[in-house]
Each structure stands twice: as C-alpha cells, then as structure tokens.
Amino acid sequence: MPGEFRVGSSSAGDMFLGALLPGLVLVALYMIYVFIFARIKKGVAPPVPFKGNFDLKFWLRVVVIIIPPLALIFAVLGSILMGIATVNQAGSIGAIGATLMAGYRLYEGKKSAFYPLILIIGSLIPITFFASNYELNVKNLEERDLSAIFITAFFVVILVYGIGWSFWRTFKTENVLKEVVTETCVTTSMVFIILLGAAMLTSGFRAFGGEELVRDFLQDLPGGFWTQFVVVMIVIFLLGFFKIVKTLDIWKGVVPFIILQLIGLGIVGAYPSLVNYLPNRVYLTSNVAPPPMNPKLQYCLQEYKFARFDSNGETIKNAILKFQSEAPTNLPDDKMEILEDHFDSALGTFALVDKLKKVEVEYNAYAVDYRDLHFIVRKKQKKILKLNKKIEKYKAEIRNLDDDELDEKNKIELRIEDVKLEIEEIQNSIPETWQAKNSEFDKINKAKNTTTKRYRKNVDEAYDLLDQFAMFINDGVKLQEVSKDIKQLDYFIAMESNTKVYERSVTIMDGLFDKLSEISGMDEFLNSVDDLLSMVDSDELDPMAIRTKSKEVVELFNKEVSWRANAKENLMPKLEEYNNAIKETIGLRLQSKLTKEQAIYVSKCNSIHRDISLNF
C-alpha cells in the first residue's frame, strides 16, 4: 500500500480528466479575448454571409455536420477516461471513426452514403447489450452462455463488415486512403528520425562530458534557480533567430495567447481543484477505488470523521452505551471478553479524539513561526549537501590523476578548500536558535504522530472486535451443520469405552478439526476437542475420564450453538443498527469502500494542495 507522501504515477485517463476543466477555462478565455478584440476592431472578424433560411433543413444539416466529430472526440477520449482502452487503442478507435466519417462524406448525396454507418451502429447496440448482461468469456466453462456468444459473434462479423466497407470506400474513391496512409507514414518517419537523431546527439553529448559541463556551469551561476531559468530561456530565444520565420513575427502572433495561457495557469494555480477534483472523484467512486485504509486518504478521512464526532459525538456515544446495555451477559467467556474489549476501545475513542485535536492545535500553532525557519535552514542544508558532493567529485578527479600531475592536483585541492570555506560560511549563517527550535518541533511532531497512531489503532481494534463478534453470530448456521458429527462423537465415545479402542471417535474428531477450522470463534471448543483426542490417544486410557470430557465437549458445543442462534434472532438486528451508528466514524477505516458522500468529501479535500515540507 502506498505511503502517505509517496509520489504516485498518473494514468493517461487521469491526465485527460485533469486537463478537462482547465481546458474549458482556457477556451472561455480565448472566447472572451476574441469577442472583445472583434468588438474593438470590427474588421478582423466579419460575419459569415448566409443567404439561405434558418429552417428545419438547415438545423438538420448543422446536426449532421457537428454530431459526428463530437461523437468521434467522445469515442476517443471517453474510451480512455472510462478505462475501456489505452491511449494507443483509443488512437485506433479514432482512426476507425475518421474512416467512417470519410466513407459517408465521400458518398454524400447518394442513397447508400450511410449504409456502413447504419450497419456499425446497429451491430454495436446488441454487442454492448450482450456484453453487459451475459458471460461471453469462452474460457469460463461454468458460467459462459454459448447462445449469447454465437449471437454476439454474428453482430461482430457485421461490425467488421461495416468497418471494412468504409475502408474500401476510402480506398477506391479518389485514392483518399492511400494518400492518408502515405502522409501518415511520412510524418511518423520524420518524428522517429528526429527522435533517433536527438538520441544519438544526446548520447554523444553525454559521452564526452557535455551534460556535466552544462550542469556545473548552471549550478555555479549566482542567483540560484531563477538565474538558471533565465539563462536557459535566453539560449532558447537566441536559437529561435535561425528560423525561416522572423522571431519578431512569431512573438507578435503568439504573445496574446501566451498571456491568456499565463492567466489560465494563474487561475489553475489559485484553484488547484480545477485539475485535481475530477481525477480524484472518478477514481474514488470507481470499482477499483482504494479502501479507506489507504494511507493517502487518511488526512482527509480524519477531517471527515472528526467533523462527524463534533456534530454527532453524543449520538455515537449513546449508541455504544445502548448496545452495551442490550448485549447478553451469558455468553461464553472468550466471546464476552471480546465484546467487553470492544466497548472499552469504542468508549475510549472520544478521549483519544480530544487528545489528538489538542496535539494538532499545538502543532499548528508552533508551525506558524517555525515554518519559515525550517524552510531557510533546509535550503542552506541542501546547498551544503550539493557542495559536499562537489568535494567528492574533486577527490575522485585527484584519484584519477597521475603522480607527476602535481600542479593539477594542487589546483583541485585549492578548489576543495574554497568549497569547504563556502560550506563553513553557510553553516555559520544558520540561525543559532535552529537546534533548539528544531528539537522542540521534533517533540511536538512525535507527540502528534504517536497520538495519531494510538487513535487509529484503537478505532481499528474496536471495530475489528465488533466485526469478529458479528462473524461469530453469522457462522452459527454453519455450526448447526456439525451437530450430527457431535452426536456421533458422543455415541461412539460411549460405545468404544467398553473396548478401549477409539478408532471411530478419532476419525470423527479429525473431521471436526477440518470442518470447524472454517468457522470463526471455535478456538476454545477445538482446544477442548484436542484435549479429548489426547486422552483417547494416551497409553493409559481412563474410560470414565474420557466419557466425562466427551460430555463437556458436547455441552460446550451446545452452548455455542444456543447463544449464536439466540443472538442471530434477537441481537443481530440491534447489532446492525449499532454498526450503522459507528461505521462512518469508529469503523470507517475498516470499510471495504468509501460511500459516495465520503468519496466526494475526500476528492474535494485531496484536490487542495497542502504544505507537507515540515515532514522532511
């Protein structure tokens, strides 16, 4: 399971989802710019003349023209976003869709223009229906539906025929397909040649030390990151002068749009939820959503639970006390102990929540003044780390020198001394209060982390115990199925005590171990059966003691069956009501999946950037 601060990878679907809302923001900015610019300079965007009528025929034509491209975009992006296809597979979907559009556009005005499209749409509908409602996996021998498979295969043949028909049209009409394939091959070849040439150039550049030379040059520049950034941008700008189109003309054309993109970046930077919310929500509400135990969800889930404790704390506590008063007291000792441990942990949760809140308030208050100091010192320490690596590099250069290259060795040693002086200067610039402030912060942070772990362990143990108790009750049905074996054991123990040969009894007890190992809460009973088995396997057999132990086993079994049956009828409805009262707070981490409400809350919470620098 990923760590809380682990940098995770993003799928292509997440990238497209994250770009959707920022893309719409950028489109809105472009529209506003074009509208304002066109209103100021009316000649730059004159109206398109249209002499026809805006009647039904006109709007039908608009629909026919607009819908197919939109459907193609949805098919390509939708297949990626919904996880149906990878990026490469979505590209093939786009190619097929474009071919279908070309197929009917090339036959525009003819009666048979839409025949291939009708075949394809008519086959996709039943294919989707059968794939959603029937098992079509041929390898699944037990659940596969052969009739549905054959029907689906028939429509797949029609689908392939319709696609092939469209490809044939584009191939035979005006040589369109050949020209498109040729241009695609040329473009693809050009891209790969550029990539190959770039890879060869980069390999040669690195092989002769060019990468280290440029890196050292940039790192040695005064001013840090921004100086390096400006130098790189100037180099790229100067390289632009050698293009055919004048750089000035390029800037005139792109400056307005660069400004609009910068405004868009500013909006996204101010509201990061525009990027993060949709991927988070789709992921957390999907069938492959992570369980609430996932470390990356803990910060937001804790906020969610604490808000519930603040608003419904008394209701939750009353639910615990009510169920505690309704719980039976005549349970087996081990079951009673589990239930009592659950109530102790559940009721102890409220004190831990208050303590954790108090520690978090102390942590946040201390972090206000400490954060800037932490940032400054960590930046200096990072610089020292880089300088130490530079020293190690210089020492490696000395080791590679020949014995007679004393002048070069002395130069490098002088560089090392200069770097050491720089390190000493940086160390002296670290504020004197750093050690004390950092030590105090470490204590507060450790207290917060320890209290958080105690709280999570407490609620997990509390709900796990309740879950075990519910499992005991539900397994009562399985337990009753073993009653026949228990009766047979008691009968054969009595019969075989006369001969002192307990062969059938041992066989039954071996079978009980296999059957009861799948039933929860039978450890105490199995220990008792194991004691009985040891007695009948002993060299010194005592038939009377064996009979007595057999009666104890039967009595213990009947007690287990009795309390579980009674709890199933009388206690289980109350337990389910109690579970509903605590599962969104005490039991949330052990649920299999977030509810929609919880997923939406966590999606919003995780969409906002948090400063986690104090953890490093």
* Per-residue pLDDT tens digits for 505-544: 888 888 888 888 888 888 888 888 888 888 888 878 888 8
Closest CA to 19 of 268, 266, 254: 268
What pLDDT, on the 0 to 100 scale, is given for residue 141? Answer: 65
Place of tokens 């108790």: 469
Do residues 300 and 602 lie in contact, with contact meaning Cβ atoms separated by under 8 Å?
Answer: yes
What pLDDT, on the 0 to 100 scale, is given for residue 497? Answer: 80
Longest Cα–Cα distance of the chain, Å, equals: 116
Helix (H) / strand (E) element for 5: namely none
Q: Which two tokens stand for residue 583?
A: 């599962």
Do residues 114 and 104 lie in contact, with contact meaning Cβ atoms separated by under 8 Å?
Answer: yes
pTM for this model (two decimals) = 0.75
374: CB partners within 8 A, 6+ apart: 438, 441, 613, 614
Closest CA to 123 of 149, 151, 101: 151
Do residues 291 and 593 lie in contact, with contact meaning Cβ atoms separated by under 8 Å?
Answer: yes
Distances in Å between the Cα of 375 and the Cα atoms of 368, 369, 430, 440 are 12, 11, 11, 16
Do residues 603 and 302 lie in contact, with contact meaning Cβ atoms separated by under 8 Å?
Answer: no
Instruction: Please name the amino acid found at residue 122.
Output: G
What pLDDT, on the 0 to 100 scale, is given for residue 2? Answer: 55
Instruction: Give Cα 327 to chain centroid, integer Å.
Output: 40
DSSP state of 567: I
521: CB partners within 8 A, 6+ apart: 334, 335, 468, 471, 472, 475, 560
Q: What end-to-end distance do the CA atoms of the chain give, in Å?
A: 21
With b meaning 16 or more CB within 10 Å and e meaning fewer, what string describes 407-439? Answer: eeeeebeeebeebeeebeeeeeeeeeeeeebee
116: CB partners within 8 A, 6+ apart: 100, 103, 104, 162, 163, 165, 166, 169
What pLDDT, on the 0 to 100 scale, is given for residue 206? Answer: 82
What pLDDT, on the 0 to 100 scale, is given for residue 390? Answer: 86
Alpha helices (runs of H) in 271-332, residue ranges in sequence order: 273-284, 298-326
* Residue 448 neighbours by CB distance under 10 Å: 16
Q: Which residues of the chain have pLDDT under 70?
A: 1-8, 141, 224, 237, 239-251
99: CB partners within 8 A, 6+ apart: 163, 166, 167, 170, 177
Closest CA to 509 of 482, 528, 489: 489
What pLDDT, on the 0 to 100 scale, is given for residue 403? Answer: 77
Place of tokens 């052969």: 146
Residue 63 exposed, middle or buried by CB count within 10 Å (0-12, 13-18, 19+): exposed
Do residues 299 and 64 lie in contact, with contact meaning Cβ atoms separated by under 8 Å?
Answer: no
Alpha helices (runs of H) in 82-134, residue ranges in sequence order: 87-106, 115-133
DSSP state of 8: -
Distances in Å between the Cα of 431 and the Cα atoms of 190, 292, 367, 369, 377 are 57, 42, 17, 14, 8
What pLDDT, on the 0 to 100 scale, is given for residue 172? Answer: 86
What pLDDT, on the 0 to 100 scale, is given for residue 308? Answer: 92
**CA gyration radius, the chain:** 37
